[in-house]
């Protein structure tokens, strides 16, 4: 890492601390494992969820740095979080701990206004200022937080295609995806699917192209301006055109549909469309037919019978509603159901109170057990010098342990065999 200063590691830690990868500022993998540990005060507040907010150096220097980057949520009991990095150089990450009661607050921090732009700001300058740490805890409703800087060398990332053939394969494999693959594993999956993709294009592509041509003609008949037909046919042939892509380019203007060409700055009006002419012809025919049969007595009596029957049904509906409301008021006035419902409510309230007491007692016992487990496994005195995936504390409960084994095993292997692509 010539001519570049290493980050200084942990910048600030309030109530917790973390260890990344090999315990140094320079990572030895672009998929970074992170472990966390808490002081005794934080343990007593039972942290359950963690929020990670990671940025590269360019995002950190942006005027929108409080909203740019990548954010992830992780359950505390998982024991370790693997953070995929997609750009070499300096990075920084905020890790915040939340209680179960603030789970919604954690989800609010994930709301987006763009691909990497978040709605809720997390102000790095405030977080990194120890003098206002209590204010930050209150403002973000978190129990503890930590800020760490680290460096990811460029050699840890996968190489992108360089030759013409490799670029062609890359284009074909990613044709049906809106984003490039995150890592080598995702790219291998797409390459395995590439022959099936070719077969589907060969079979379905021509049919879809014909369908789009026909739909474009219909759109033109309705009076809307279709999207560029030849471009859309090409996209349809490759099966990359979404079936619900917008046909109408421009909305109504006044009474007429308008074709507006921004490049030329002129407008073309369509006083009448094919559909309007067709509907007008149909209306003229129907009007003439009605005039022809208006004086037919059979038709007149039939229409009157239908109107009378609808009127009778409406009266019956109103009568049933009125009588049912009157009956309900009569029964309630003379207390037919009041005594029964009062006795039933007393019994239900007593049973509900007993259930609530039992649940509160059980919850207190579980919280005490959880805090004891936290202190024995995630206390600051148990913090290692580097991440050891073989010694990740086991969570309470068989289901959580099984999930952790699969998670750590999968990501531990992926970090070794699947390098991320640099963006």
Residue 229: its pLDDT value, please? 77
Q: Which pLDDT does position 341 carry in this prediction?
A: 61
| Residues 188, 312 within the same domain | no
Expressed as residue numbers, the domain containing 171 is 164-270
pLDDT score of 389: 84
43 contacts 375 by C-beta, under 8 angstroms = yes
Same structural domain for residues 210 and 329? no
For residue 290, being part of any structural domain is answered with no
Prediction pTM value: 0.69
| 117 and 93 co-located in one domain | yes
Sign of CA dihedral 282, 288, 293, 299: positive
Tell me: do 388 and 253 sit in the same domain: no
Task: Give a yes or no: residue 62 inside a domain.
Answer: yes
Total number of domains in the chain: 3
Question: Pick from 60, 72, 69, 62: which is nearest to 128 by CA?
Answer: 60
Residues 231 and 175 placed together within one structural domain of the fold: yes
Contact 419, 184 (CB under 8 A): yes
User: Is 357 within a domain?
Assistant: no
Same domain, 134 and 178: no
* 175 domain residue, yes or no: yes
- The answer to whether residues 171 and 147 belong to one domain is no
Q: Is residue 349 part of a domain?
A: no
What is the C-alpha separation between 220 and 214, in angstroms, rounded? Answer: 10
Q: Could you tell me if 142 and 181 lie in one domain? A: no
- The predicted pLDDT at position 55 comes to 92
Distances (CA, A) of 314 to 83, 132, 301, 303, 308: 65, 69, 20, 17, 10
Residue 371 included in any domain: no
* Residues 40 and 99 reside in one and the same domain: yes
Burial of 186 (0-12, 13-18, 19+ CB in 10 A): middle
Residue 114 and residue 178 share a domain: no
CATH code of the domain containing 22: 2.60.40.10
Q: Is residue 61 part of a domain?
A: yes
Mean pLDDT for each consecutive 10-residue tract of the chain (423 residues)?
A: 57 88 84 90 89 91 89 89 91 91 85 81 85 81 90 89 89 88 89 89 88 78 70 83 58 44 50 61 61 53 58 64 59 55 70 80 81 86 84 82 87 88 85
Nearest-CA neighbor of 177 among 159, 197, 149?
197
How crowded is residue 280: how many other Cβ atoms within 10 Å of its Cβ?
Answer: 11
In a domain, 287, yes or no: no
**Do 116 and 20 fall within a single domain?**
yes
Looking at the structure, do residues 60 and 79 belong to the same domain, yes or no? yes
């Amino acid at each position: 890492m010539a001519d570049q200063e290493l980050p200084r590691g942990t910048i600030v830690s309030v109530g917790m601390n973390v260890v990344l990868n090999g315990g140094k500022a320079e990572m030895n993998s672009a998929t970074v494992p992170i472990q966390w540990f808490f002081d005794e005060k934080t343990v007593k507040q039972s942290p359950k969820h963690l929020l990670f907010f990671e940025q590269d150096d360019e995002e950190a220097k942006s005027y929108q740095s409080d909203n740019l980057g990548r954010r992830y949520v992780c359950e505390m009991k998982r024991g370790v979080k693997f953070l995929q990095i997609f750009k070499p150089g300096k990075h920084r990450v905020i890790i915040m701990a939340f209680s179960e009661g603030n789970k919604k607050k954690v989800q609010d921090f994930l709301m987006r206004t763009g691909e990497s732009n978040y709605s809720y700001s997390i102000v790095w300058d405030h977080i990194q200022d120890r003098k206002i740490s209590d204010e930050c805890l209150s403002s973000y409703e978190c129990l503890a937080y930590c800020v760490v800087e680290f460096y990811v060398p460029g050699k840890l990332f996968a190489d992108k295609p360089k030759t013409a053939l490799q670029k062609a394969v890359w284009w074909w494999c990613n044709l049906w995806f809106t984003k490039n693959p995150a890592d080598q594993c995702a790219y291998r999956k797409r390459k395995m699917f590439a022959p099936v993709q070719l077969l589907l294009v060969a079979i379905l592509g021509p049919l879809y192209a014909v369908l789009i041509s026909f739909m474009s003609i219909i759109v033109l008949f309705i009076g809307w301006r279709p999207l560029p037909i030849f471009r859309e046919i090409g996209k349809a042939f490759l099966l990359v055109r979404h079936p619900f892509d917008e046909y109408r380019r421009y909305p109504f203007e006044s009474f007429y549909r308008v074709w507006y060409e921004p490049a030329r700055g002129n407008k073309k009006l369509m006083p009448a469309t094919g559909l309007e002419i067709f509907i007008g012809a149909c209306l003229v025919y129907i009007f003439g037919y009605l005039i022809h049969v208006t004086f037919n007595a059979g038709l007149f009596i039939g229409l009157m019978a239908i109107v009378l029957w609808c009127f009778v049904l409406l009266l019956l509906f109103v009568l049933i509603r009125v009588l049912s409301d009157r009956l309900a008021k009569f029964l309630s006035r003379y207390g037919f159901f009041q005594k029964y419902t009062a006795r039933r409510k007393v019994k239900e309230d007593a049973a509900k109170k007993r259930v609530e007491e039992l649940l509160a007692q059980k919850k207190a016992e579980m919280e005490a057990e959880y805090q004891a487990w936290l202190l024995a496994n995630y206390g600051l005195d148990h913090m290692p010098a580097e991440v050891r995936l073989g010694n990740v504390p086991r969570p309470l409960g068989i289901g959580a342990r099984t999930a952790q084994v699969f998670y750590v095993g999968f990501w531990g292997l992926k970090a070794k065999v699947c390098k991320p692509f640099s963006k």
